[in-house]
Amino acid sequence: MLADTAGAEVVARLLQAKDAPDNAYYLGKGKAEELVNLIEHMDADLVIFDNELSPTQIRNLDRVLDIKVIDRTALILDIFARRALSKEGKLQVELAQLQYMLPRLIGLGKQLSRLGGGIGTRGPGETQLEVDRRVIRRKISDLKQEITALRKHRRLHRQRRQRNRCFMVSLVGYTNAGKSTLLNALTGSTLYTEDKLFATLDPAVRRGKLEGGQEVLFTDTVGFIEKLPKQLVTAFQATLEEIAAGDLLLHVVDLSHPDYHNQIAIVHDHLQKIDPGFIEKEQLIFNKIDLVEKSNDFAYLKREFPDALFVSAIKKEGLTELNIRISYCMSRQKPLLKVELPYSAGKLLSEIQEQGEVKSIKYTEKSIIVEATVDGRLAARLSEYSIRD
């Protein structure tokens, strides 16, 4: 699917069972010879390895196979270079590509003569590869500074949303699970969707209304994938921070995918690295139920994932139950409290007014009685002033 998304036509596959990759060629000698024959037979013009290759392995393979060789990381970076539309997305992709290229500059002369165009050459391009390391490092430094500035700008936007008491729902999941389609269904927006990997790279924030009329902000983020290149994780840190900022994480799973269990585990692993407390905010959503056998009542999954919901974003099935669940999570995270504050606790009153939603406020001779909805952290600090009716 990665190759297809990048525009390549897969004409053959080659597998090898081996205890450890060969340091020089990744493949064993016999398997490399088999690959040479396969290339000639299929008239192929590109070989993609489904793991990251070392600079030495790429140079050796290029010499032996006499054909352009790229690894999984280069392929994913190529797709990201195609998909990035915003200034921030393009900067992040360029940074990731330059970080990947830097240790691979030595000995690329022969490969450079073959680059020409196509998969693995988008982004900074051939001319960037020909400059020396010092210039590349300077460019990386400049990109990091620009991304840091954009990161601060994004942080200010998040703080403004928090001050405006907006409940944030982040859609997360494996790439191509249907996150953008679900966001469109929940908000009535028209985000770009396609049955391809990484259709969405740039974070999108849309406003939506729940069944009870409450307004919520939904955030769509870049999808995860197995063996996501470390360069991308680093470069897209600002984008991934949008996930941690969410009050609720809707973990969207493609139920029609034969390996969805493994995809759930991969997403959990990524989320754990971004926000160790993600599990407390996660709501599992099994999407694409329209592509599964209609007679399936999902009883086996309900036993394994008792709190999960089942929807079809494209058919808009199960969205009422999802809206109700979001409303419930919203009320649970922002409980309605009634507190009696002494006049000396003016700072707490200010926090309630800034961060919560005040229902009523009454000034008495000795105290201030406030009824408001606040988030869990502020509720814990106000517990000693709580009034029980």
Examine domains 2-139 and 170-332 and report if their fold is the same. Answer: yes
pLDDT tens track for 213-260: 778 888 887 788 888 877 777 666 666 776 777 889 999 999 999 999
Q: Is the pTM of this model over 0.85?
A: no
Assigned CATH class of 170-332: alpha beta
What is the sign of the dihedral through the CA atoms of 9, 11, 17 and 21?
negative
Single out the residue of 90, 52, 313 nearest to residue 201, CA to CA: 90
CATH fold label, 2-139: Rossmann fold (3.40.50)
- Residues forming a β-bridge with 70: 48
Q: What is the mean pLDDT of the chain?
A: 81
The rounded distance, in Å, linking the Cα atoms of 333 and 373 is 9
The rounded distance, in Å, linking the Cα atoms of 313 and 265 is 22
Q: Is residue 351 very low, low, confident or very high in pLDDT (cuts 50, 70, 90)? A: confident
pLDDT tens track for 330-344: 877 666 788 899 988
Single out the residue of 120, 175, 173 nearest to residue 6, CA to CA: 120
pLDDT tens track for 11-32: 999 999 889 999 999 998 889 8
The rounded distance, in Å, linking the Cα atoms of 378 and 24 is 58
Q: How many CB atoms lie within 10 A of CB 258?
A: 8
Residue spans per domain, the chain: 2-139, 170-332, 334-385
pLDDT tens track for 65-91: 888 899 998 898 888 888 777 777 788
